[in-house]
Amino acid sequence: MGENFPLESQVTEGKTILVVPANSIKTKIPPRAPAFYNSLASLSRDISVIFCRAHTHMISREPTMLDTFAGVGARGVRVANEVPRMNTVELNDVNSVALDFASRSASANGVSMRCIFTNQEARSLLVSHCRRDKQYDFVDIDPFGTPAFYIDCAVGAVVNGGFLSLTATDTPVLCGLYPRVALRRYGGLPLRTGYCHELGLRLLVSAVARACMQHDLGLRCLFVHNTRHYMRVYLQILKGSIDSDRTLEQIGYLNHCPDCLYREVSTEVTSRCECGTNKIQRAGPLWVGAIYNEMTLRSMLEEASGNSRKAVLTLLQRALGELNLPIGYYLPDQMADHLELPSPPPRRVIEELEKRGFKAARSALNPMGIKTNADPRTFSQMIKDYASEMKISGDRSDRRDKIHY
């Protein structure tokens, strides 16, 4: 540092002061030089803090965390400052200018003693921590683009029962826009469907599961979330062949009909759907087990309530609401467009499905998505019934519903 240190600004995220490059908060797309800071990703860091707060008590020793791609330290310094039980956070980045910002942020919050700064290539650092006495309790992987290059090294750097969180920003790949790239990076095929974000997250989890199984490790998926720009997963790594075998049981395929939207987890390869089409598409291999852990969600909600923004609470509550519902969700507005009919608002969809004896909930992964155990035929019939009802009631209909949509 010195006279040539880049212009800096101070921002507050959560309860933490962050010293960031001045140019990163003046432009819509923050530049990578001199160091990258994206204020739009603060929700992801809020969730990291809540996740760590909810899980540090599960660690029997003094918990440690590695923020592998720390950048200016937004995540790592926040965890050091806002998670009282976290003993040490190691902030690593290849960009030494970014680490200077991180160090200044740590000082601004009085947590320098709990932070270690390292300036290493990510994979070398992870591999050097695969020895049992050097492993971390929490490892975070948040690179530019795909995390695929780091997965194998990362699973080895997590202690038995510890936690691994990963961010992927190659969402077009995970959502099925480039299936060959997805197959290379993640070992499975995604699908371009209305519920592609859930399938993309499941593909990401399965890539980590595969790396775990190669090392006789098991994996439990505790929490996932996504925005337009990134997908993020929180996993627990478990040592031993029994957990590894259980992990293998959670890997499967999904058959999807693009015509009637029928979907099911299946080991059978088929092209024919009951609706008569022979265009069945197949996604996978991907994670077909649970993507949320109830205890994790409840602990995170407890940590979040009272001092978190509404978006975080909504996300956690919706995740809780969709526990035990099948893979995939429906998008009523898209289905109604396809049928050239008006779309019922989400709350109405849920009421109608419940009236017909099905379970239904808002998806945490898509604000317009509805998770349900109803089949697509019931779902489309419900939209048709709604349209008939609207036609009959005419101008006397609920105007709020119409305006909403």
Q: Which residues bind Zn ion (CB under 5 A)?
A: 257, 259-260, 262, 273, 275
Compute the least distance from the CB of residue 279 to Zn ion, in Å: 8
User: By C-beta, is 259 or 398 nearer to Zn ion?
Assistant: 259
Cα dihedral 203/207/210/216 (nearest 10)? -120
Compute the least distance from the CB of residue 270 to Zn ion, in Å: 11
Cα dihedral 373/378/382/383 (nearest 10)? 100
Compute the least distance from the CB of residue 281 to Zn ion, in Å: 10
CB contact at 8 A, 115 and 80:
yes
Compute the least distance from the CB of residue 260 to Zn ion, in Å: 3
DSSP structural state of residue 134: G
Structure tokens at 48: 């990291």
Backbone angles phi, psi at 3, to 5 degrees: -65, -30
Compute the least distance from the CB of residue 262 to Zn ion, in Å: 5
User: By C-beta, is 75 or 263 nearer to Zn ion?
Assistant: 263
User: By C-beta, is 237 or 382 nearer to Zn ion?
Assistant: 382
CA distance 351 to 359: 10
Q: Which of 156, 175, 151, 281 lies closest to 226 in space, CA to CA? A: 175
Compute the least distance from the CB of residue 390 to Zn ion, in Å: 27
User: By C-beta, is 183 or 260 nearer to Zn ion?
Assistant: 260
Compute the least distance from the CB of residue 258 to Zn ion, in Å: 8
User: By C-beta, is 49 or 273 nearer to Zn ion?
Assistant: 273
Burial label for 116, CB within 10 Å (0-12, 13-18, 19+), is middle
User: By C-beta, is 6 or 326 nearer to Zn ion?
Assistant: 326
Compute the least distance from the CB of residue 277 to Zn ion, in Å: 5
Amino acid at 279: K
Structure tokens at 190: 């995604």
Q: Where is 54: in which H helix or E strand?
A: helix 42-55
CA distance 8 to 114: 23
CB contact at 8 A, 85 and 54:
no
CB contact at 8 A, 315 and 359:
no
User: By C-beta, is 84 or 276 nearer to Zn ion?
Assistant: 276
User: By C-beta, is 273 or 300 nearer to Zn ion?
Assistant: 273
Q: Which of 200, 161, 130 lies closest to 56 in space, CA to CA? A: 161
Compute the least distance from the CB of residue 191 to Zn ion, in Å: 14
User: By C-beta, is 163 or 262 nearer to Zn ion?
Assistant: 262
Helices (H), 109-195: 122-127, 151-156, 171-174, 179-186
CB atoms within 10 A of CB 15: 11
